[in-house]
Structure 1
Amino acid sequence: MRVFAIADIHLSKAFPKPMNIFGPEWDGHPEAVFEEWRKTVGEDDLVIVAGDISWAMKLPEALLDLADLALLPGTKVLLRGNHDYWWPSISRLRQVLPPRMHALQHDSLVIGNLAIAGSRGWDTPGSYNFTPEDEKIYKREVERLALSLKTIQGHDYEYLILAMHYPPYGPTGGPTGFTELIDQYQPTCVVYGHLHGADPERLPKSWNGVPLHFVSADVVRFKPQLILETPHQTHVVNVADS
């Protein structure tokens, strides 16, 4: 099984929103997302969609975008981003997800010898205009990531992917509560998005030896990025339900 990742696909079928108002790097969106996905991903592959999936404000609107994603090849693992206002309680979301689509929230997935844990993340101390409210959300997100990682304890896996929407490091590349968890659990790699217009060559490529994969859709030109290849396994266990 090949594992891919992409973030910030910003679909908006219910209320079309031209993304090229944010810059020419968005030209061709959203059709380019679907085209590159079909060219890259196979039916036996898995794709982590690391947040900012849909501009929808309500779940019924977002389901139009999720239905389009469901038609694409591969198994999908969804993570909430800061613009996913449509995301309801996780139990409600899982009741309506299309087949071969999974959502992470405070828990993890084990797929064969692969474990996937993650959380949205947030701005970290030292960020521009960081407020006391940001501090509360940041601490809550660190705890949520810790909860997700704790759920994999006692399960057999060979590879661990840590998925976030926000970058795990601080605004100058320094340590945070998220990087402390990376140091503690030593995942195989970390995937994240959220940043737009950033030069990937100027961003950290690893954290204490753990590879960091920056996969915002506009930066990777809408092509899901190959993160990992594992022996093919299809049995999926949601650890919160096991």
Structure 2
Amino acid sequence: MRVFAIADLHLATVTPKPMTVFGPQWAGHPQAIFDRWREVVREGDLVLLPGDLSWAMRLPDALIDLAPVAALPGTKVMLRGNHDYWWPTLGKLRAALPPRLHAIQNDALRFGNVVVCGSRGWLTPGYEALNAEDERLLAREAERLSLSVQAAGKLRQPGDRLIMMLHYPPASPPYPTNPFLQVIEAARPDVIVYGHLHGVPAEKTMRHVAGIPAYMVAADGLKFTPRLVLEP
């Protein structure tokens, strides 16, 4: 099973929000995502969707955005981004999701020999100082990531690969230590994927975290083509 990843789909069917206001690179969105997805992803593949999937404010509206994603090739697994305001409780969400579209929140899922864990993440220390609210959210999200890693440990079988999804990057330049890095260093996943960054080519972003391959997969940075992050 091959594993692809693409974040920040920013779909807006019910309440249109043209993404070209954020730059000309968004021209042709979202059809470019769907077209290029079909070019590279096969039915037996797994596609990771680390957040900012829909601009909707309510779950019924988000489900309209997610329906064409669910219909694309492959099994998909998503987590919440900072703009996914529509995201309800996990039980309610899982009950409403169409087939082949899965969600992670404080837990983990296993697909074949791949275990997927993750959390939204938050701002991390770097160029800019964090305020008290940022520090609180950073600690909370690190705890949620730790819970997800623990759940992954219970699912993981010998020979399984562990993939960690984050919406926010796990560290910020000049990359001082932070609670996410501590969880990552203890968990030692095989691959990390993250999104959130816009207008930044993937080749100019952080490629390793604690020696672990890391992939920035925000849609515009990938020119809207899902990125292959793990092969059998």
Normalization by structure 1: what TM-score? Answer: 0.91
Letter in 2 for 1:43: E
Deviation digits for residues 111-166 of structure 1 (CA, Å, limit 9, x no counterpart)? 12111000000001345363211111110000000000001224315200000000
Gaps of 5+ in 2: none
Alignment RMSD (CA, Å): 1.3
SS of 1:218's equivalent?
helix
1:166 is aligned to: 168
Deviation digits for residues 8-50 of structure 1 (CA, Å, limit 9, x no counterpart)? 0100011111101100111110110111111111111110011
- Shift in Å at residue 175 of structure 1? 2.1
What does residue range 12-51 of structure 1 map to in structure 2 within 5 Å?
12-51=12-51
SS of 2:139's equivalent?
helix
SS of 1:161's equivalent?
strand
After TM superposition, the runs of 4+ consecutive aligned structure 1 residues lying more than 4 A away are none
SS of 1:25's equivalent?
helix
SS of 1:56's equivalent?
coil
Q: Does 1:206 align with 2:208?
A: yes
Classify 1:31/1:203 alpha carbon distance in 2 versus 1 (closer, same or farther; 3 Å): same
Task: Quote the Cα distance in structure 1 between the aligned partners of 2:209 and 2:152.
Answer: 21
Contact 1:124 1:171 (8 Å CA) reproduced: no
1:226 to 222, 225, 228: 228
- Shift in Å at residue 68 of structure 1? 1.2
- Shift in Å at residue 199 of structure 1? 4.0
1:132 is aligned to: 132
Q: Does 1:145 align with 2:145?
A: yes
The sequence identity of aligned pairs, in percent, is 52
Contact 1:215 1:225 (8 Å CA) reproduced: yes
- The number of equivalent residue pairs is 230
Contact 2:54 2:62 (8 Å CA) reproduced: yes
Deviation digits for residues 87-113 of structure 1 (CA, Å, limit 9, x no counterpart)? 000000000000011100000011121
1:178 is aligned to: 180
- Shift in Å at residue 176 of structure 1? 1.5
- Shift in Å at residue 198 of structure 1? 2.2
Normalization by structure 2: what TM-score? Answer: 0.95
Contact 2:206 2:215 (8 Å CA) reproduced: no
2:63 is aligned to: 63
Task: Quote the Cα distance in structure 1 between the aligned partners of 2:133 and 2:175.
Answer: 22
- The more displaced of 179-188 and 213-222 is 179-188
SS of 1:102's equivalent?
strand
Gaps of 5+ in 1: 231-242
Task: Quote the Cα distance in structure 2 between the aligned partners of 1:208 and 1:71.
Answer: 36
